[in-house]
Each structure stands twice: as structure tokens, then as C-alpha cells.
A and B are shown apart, each in its own frame.
Chain A
Amino acid sequence: MNTITRRKFIASTAGCSLAGLFLPGNYAWAQWPTQAFGGKDITSVIEKLYGSSKMEDSAAITIKAPDIAENGAVVPVSIKTKLTGVESVSILVDENPNPLAAQFLISPGNSGDVATRIKLAKKSKVTAVVKANGKLYTNSRFIKVTLGGCGGPG
């Protein structure tokens, strides 16, 4: 016998649609790497994002950013690389609550030069990870912050 009354049915479907509204999580946005963005420590984030955290330090990657950023909410960062066969470029901020800031997917044959503006909670190492020809390369630099991106002093 069906024990679900009309009232209960409506209540349950309302619950579902509300959950869908507030948790636009895993199913609708399968491409967006929720786990990598939710990660707290940089090694595990890179592992979640690329399936491995085996990286090679590379001087062929240059990170251009101010040594001291006055406003942590808007820090211009540009990444240039001489590597060829670039597939993706990621920017990670060690001291942010969630280190992964952005990942850029580069179409084949294009250079991996990207620039953007990111938030820094406080002074931090900023790491660039470049995937080229199936391998991971990395470089990093330290940025000091006068006023943190979360409102407090850095």
C-alpha cells in the first residue's frame, strides 16, 4: 500500500528543490573540481586537480607580481612560460583558506601566458603549476600584503 500522502509528497519534493538551490554541487557542475577547490593543503590540492603531485621546478615559468601588494583583495599576477605543449596553468596561494585560486585550460598550440587578479588573505607564497606534454612543472614566488584580502591586516 502506498503510504505517501499528497501532503508528504509535496513536502519531500519541496525539500529536494531547496537542496538543489542551495547546494549547486556535484551533479550539475561535474566539470568544476569541487574537491580541488575545497582542499586545504597545497600538495593534496594538486593531487586532486592533476591526479599526481609529482612536479619539477622550472625556470621556464615566470610569475610576474608585485613583491608587496598594497591591497590583498586585488593582486595582479601574470604567468609566462617558455614551455611548449601547455595544457593547463594553475595558480595556488599557500596561505589562503583554500589554496587553489584558478585553473586555466589552454587549447593545443597556444601559449600558456595568462594574467589575472587574485585575492591574498595574507603574505603568502604563490605557486604556478603548468602541465605541459603530460608533465607538471612549477615555480613560485613570495608576495607580501599590506592589507589582507579578507579585511584584516596581512
Chain B
Amino acid sequence: MSIRIRTKNQGSKTAVKVLIRHPMETGLRKDKSGATIPVHFIREVDCTHNSITVFKAIWGVAVSKNPFVSFVVNQVSRGDNITVSWVDNLGQSDSKSVTV
């Protein structure tokens, strides 16, 4: 599982794009033997800019596999820190920091 973060300045704002590797199983699908594939999805994604939370996503199972999210925050300057972290329904989590 990995997190990829891209930032792009747009005038006084910065667009942040995040790509996370995660199965995002709905709990409704069945495998070849007919057994239900257990539900496994990211519930919360947090983004902080220099340790201040600037964006939060609350997800259900209807977010696609290997989720992508992009959002806009007030301008991020060179050397600033952007951290994205997520927690899923099984309590697994991951976090990644980038310095712009």
C-alpha cells in the first residue's frame, strides 16, 4: 500500500492530488467459490499542511479501488510540509509526508 502526493500551485491556491493503493472492497462481491469477499475500505483520509489539518475525506465503500482524490488548499510555499494519512475499517493505516 502506498500513497502518492502531487502538488501544483495555481495562483494563490495549491491543488493537491492524492493516489492511494487500497482494495476498497464493498463486502458485496463474491469470489469464484461464492464466498463473500470481506468488506475492507478506507474510512478517513486526513491532509495536514505544516501540521494543521486542511482537508478531511470521509469515505464509504463506494469510493473506487486505489482511490484518487484531489482538492484545493490555500497556497503552499516551498519547503512546506504536506502529510496525508488514512485509516481503514480494519484499523490499518498509512501516512506519507512530502516537502514541497
Q: Hey, which bits of chain A sit against chain B, CB under 8 A? A: 24, 28-29, 31-33, 37, 73-76, 78, 93, 96-98, 100-107, 109-111, 113-119, 149-151
Question: Are A74 and B74 in contact, CB atoms less than 8 angstroms apart?
Answer: no
Considering only CB atoms, which chain A residue lies closest to B13 in the complex?
A111
Given the known interface contacts A29-B43, A101-B62, the answer about A106 and B55 at a Cβ–Cβ threshold of 8 Å is yes
Question: Are A104 and B68 in contact, CB atoms less than 8 angstroms apart?
Answer: no
Interface positions, chain B 57-92, Cβ under 8 Å from A, are 57-65, 67-74, 89-91
Considering only CB atoms, which chain A residue lies closest to B91 in the complex?
A24
28 A-B contacts (beta carbon < 8 Å) = A24-B90, A28-B91, A29-B43, A31-B58, A33-B58, A73-B64, A73-B65, A93-B62, A98-B62, A101-B60, A101-B62, A102-B62, A102-B63, A104-B56, A104-B58, A105-B57, A105-B58, A107-B54, A110-B54, A110-B55, A110-B74, A111-B72, A114-B70, A115-B68, A116-B63, A116-B68, A119-B63, A150-B28
For the complex, give the distance between the alpha carbons of A75 and B44 in Å. Answer: 20
Q: Which of A28, A73, A104, A113 is in CB contact (< 8 Å) with B57?
A: A104
List, in ascending order, chain B residues with CB within 8 A of A107's CB: 52-55, 73
Q: How many A-B residue pairs have CB under 8 A?
A: 99
Q: What is the number of residues of chain B that contact chain A, defined by CB distance less than 8 Å?
A: 31
Q: Hey, which bits of chain B sit against chain A, CB under 8 A? A: 13, 26, 28-29, 43-44, 52-65, 67-74, 89-91
List, in ascending order, chain A residues with CB within 8 A of B63's CB: 101-102, 116-119
Considering only CB atoms, which chain B residue lies closest to A38 in the complex?
B60
How many whole Å from A71's CB to the nearest CB in chain B?
9
Which of A73, A76, A102, A111 has the most CB atoms of chain B within a 10 A radius of its CB? Answer: A102
List, in ascending order, chain A residues with CB within 8 A of B70's CB: 78, 114-116
For the complex, give the distance between the alpha carbons of A28 and B69 in Å. Answer: 25
List, in ascending order, chain B residues with CB within 8 A of A76's CB: 68
Question: Are A113 and B62 in contact, CB atoms less than 8 angstroms apart?
Answer: no
For the complex, give the distance between the alpha carbons of A102 and B91 in Å. Answer: 19
For the complex, give the distance between the alpha carbons of A59 and B71 in Å. Answer: 20
